[in-house]
Chains A and B, each alone.
Chain A
Amino acid sequence: MLSWYGRHGTDAYDLADRLPRGRGRVAAWNAYVCQTYADKLAESCRHAPNEAASYARALYDLACHWLERAQAPDGRLDLVLPSWGSLVRSEEELVAMRDTLTALRTYVAFEIGEDDPRLTAVDEQIATVDELWIPRPTPEIRAGIGTALIMGIEKAVELGGTVALG
């Protein structure tokens, strides 16, 4: 069901590369973020679909919304990701979030270069995650990792949007 949902937004993977820098590319970047995040969740949480399915569906809907907006990007272009209902994430959700953050960072770093100091804010959150990442984490540790991942993803989204705007 989720994979069917996700097919509608697959254009998000290359649309940002095809558009010139500007507002359309920002919208395409937002679509890329949502589609990547949702696909990672769908992939990682395949065996526990109920926990992340509603979140992934919301992201797929957002990806389609931003793909449409990339054609006529008027109004505000800030991406507001859906809020998780609770603080503690499952291990599968954390894996998906970490993979998403890695993918977003790689994308942005390719655009601006590995040495760009603007990546520091993202890298600090990745370092926090790495410090806490252990097998069988307790709920407190998972909450800490989840918070750092959310902050890292938000910083990567913001930086990617700035770069896409040019």
Chain B
Amino acid sequence: MTSPTGDYWELYVSKTALPRWSGSDAQFGWDGTLIGLPIALGAAVWFSLVLPLGRVLMLLPLAMVRGHRSRAVRIEAVKNFPRREVLLWTTTDGHLPRVLDEVAAGLSEGMIARPVGAVYTGAE
């Protein structure tokens, strides 16, 4: 839906909270030597991509099982322009249709709804 200010929001409903991507903040500096270049590149790929990806892949099945065992449902409102913004509500499956309607109505009016039976967690 589109807010009065022209922001375009997409709503996603899921039962699974995806594991967070936690890449390393470390700087992988190259010491200027020829042998140091592949080591620095390898370390950067390993710590920024391979390890975080492995962590996500390991935690994903657990997150999916947890999500499907619980009656909690996540509603994410995503805006990608001019900058990405994600708002999160959590509710229960019994309240989902009403809460989703209220969230959508709120966003289309430029407001953040706080429906009964839902928890608004804020920007992710």
Contact = CB atoms under 8 A, between A and B. Distances in A.
Contacts of B121: 140, 143
A140 B92 CA distance: 11
21 contacts: A127-B116, A128-B116, A131-B92, A131-B95, A132-B117, A132-B119, A134-B70, A134-B72, A134-B92, A135-B70, A135-B71, A136-B69, A136-B70, A136-B72, A138-B90, A140-B88, A141-B90, A141-B119, A143-B119, A143-B121, A144-B90
B89 to A, nearest CB: 9
A-B complex: 3 closest residue pairs judged by Cβ atoms: A144-B119, A140-B90, A131-B117
A interface majority secondary structure: helix
Contacts of B70: 134-138
Contact of B92 (A127, A128, A132): A132
Contacts, number: 42
Category for how many chain B residues contact A: 10 to 19
A140 B73 CA distance: 10
Interface string B99-124: 00000000000000000111101000
